[in-house]
Amino acid sequence: MGKCKICGKEGVNISNVLGYCYQCLRDYWDSIKEEIFSLHAASRQSFGLPPYVTKNPKGIQCRLCVNKCVISSQEVGYCGIRKNINGKIGGGTIKGNLHFYYDPLPTNCVADWVCPGGTGSGYPQYAYTKGPELEYYNLAVFYQACNFNCLYCQNWSFKEGFRHPHWVSINELVEACFKKNVSCVCYFGGDPTPQIIHALAVSRKILKRKDKSIIRICWETNGAVNPKILKQMAKISLASGGCIKFDLKAWHEGVHKALCGVSNRQTLENFAWLASLSKKRPSPPFLIASTLLVPGYVDVEEVRKITHFIAQLDSNIPYSLLAFYPSFVLRDLPTTSFSHAERCMEVAKQAGLKRIKIGNQHLLGNAYT
């Protein structure tokens, strides 16, 4: 049972770790933001990550993402991977700090319910079969770095990878793609953004070598990448039959910063631009969105605004509502309830979205709150 420090409201959907309810995060953000950012800083300390977005006035600016870190000599950026090496920004380019594995299709990714690997969408140009590609694999590439700091990160253990990095070269990952019947490659994490130069190089080599075979290139990301780089990602996915999956974590910027440590403005702008391309290749879907339903914080009102935003761009964009499980710093919140998910599903329908799914249903709590 948590209690808000400002309004005194109590409830299971208020985190004592955060210390504030959703409404007060919105209404009093400017006065409490330093406290919240200190919480983020503390959560990063044990992993040796910079506590705040790096802004050294004597450094060089990294331009990969919304953070635009300014990094001094031998210092790393907020993501923990980009580094100023002898006056040049590098890291996560020639080799990637990552793990990869072969995931039999259909897999449980955010897009499985609409993508070629799970449904045969786009057959025969982009899929081998009219239904699920049962004899094929997704090469799942998990990058161990992120430009966000989500306090509820479901994959937070990747941060341990900074202590024990696992470096994989461009060619090694390309070769892995052709050792099995791989029909799609998905970059996720963490997030692919801090090591996007590596991922783009791998993708181009795969597509150049694949000849007439089908290999779709997909991205699962927070979407806060430099727009110029996003254009390269989009070009590759459009041509290969792949998709770009954006995690729209929250709508209100204060709530987003409280939960993730970073603004969502670049994410929303990038999503809007990608939506303008989505009609170029309606099948299989090019752009897909998802939102993790964090109890008490990513509530019905947040989902209402997110879904109105999506629907105004293109009502056919597939949208997944994902169940939350207590993890990383926000361990004092309950799992997403059935009623929360159902109410969010209803507002998504009211917004005009035509393709909606509740994912991770096995994690939904039984309580109707």
Sign of CA dihedral 276, 69, 218, 317: negative
Please count the other Cβ atoms lying within 10 Å of the Cβ belonging to residue 358. Answer: 18
Q: pLDDT of the chain along its 369 residues, tens only?
A: 799 999 999 999 999 999 999 999 999 999 999 999 999 999 999 899 999 999 999 999 999 999 999 999 989 999 999 999 989 999 999 999 999 999 999 998 899 999 999 999 999 999 999 999 999 999 999 999 999 999 999 999 999 878 889 999 999 999 999 999 999 999 999 999 999 999 999 999 999 999 999 999 999 999 999 999 999 999 999 999 999 999 999 999 999 999 999 999 999 999 999 999 988 899 999 999 999 999 999 999 999 999 999 999 999 999 999 999 999 999 999 999 999 999 999 999 999 999 999 988 888 876 544
For residue 65, being part of any structural domain is answered with no
Residue 368 lies in a domain: no
Q: Give the annotated binding-site residues.
A: 146, 150, 153
14 in a structural domain: no
Residue 10 dihedral angles phi and psi, to the nearest 5°: -120, 155
Q: Which residues are annotated as a binding site for [4Fe-4S] cluster?
A: 146, 150, 153
Burial 85-95 (b: 16+ CB within 10 A, else e): eeeebebbbeb
CA distance 17 to 3: 10
Residues sharing a CB contact under 8 Å with residue 335, sequence separation 6 or more, in sequence order = 295, 323, 324, 325, 326, 363, 364, 365
**Within-domain flag for 210:** yes
The DSSP line for 138-167 is EEEEEES--S---TT-TTGGGGGGGTS--E
Tell me how many domains the chain contains.
1
Is residue 116 included in any domain, yes or no? yes
Instruction: Report, in this order, helix, strand and coil percent for the chain, each rounded to 5.
Output: 35, 20, 45
Cα 301 from Cα 296, distance rounded (Å):
11
Closest CA to 245 of 120, 359, 133: 359
**Helices within the chain (DSSP H only):** 22-27, 29-45, 116-119, 170-177, 196-209, 227-240, 253-260, 265-275, 300-313, 338-351
Asked if the structure places residue 136 within a domain, the reply is: yes
CB atoms within 10 A of CB 265: 12
Residue 43 counted as domain residue: no
Burial class of 60 by CB neighbour count within 10 A (0 to 12, 13 to 18, 19+) = middle
Determine the structural domain holding residue 260 and report its residue range.
95-363
Does residue 328 lie within any of the structural domains?
yes
Dist. CA 259–CA 247, nearest whole Å: 13
Supply the CATH number for residue 255's domain: 3.20.20.70
Residue 190: DSSP 8-state: S
Q: Work out whether the CA dihedral 81, 53, 222, 163 comes out positive or negative.
A: positive
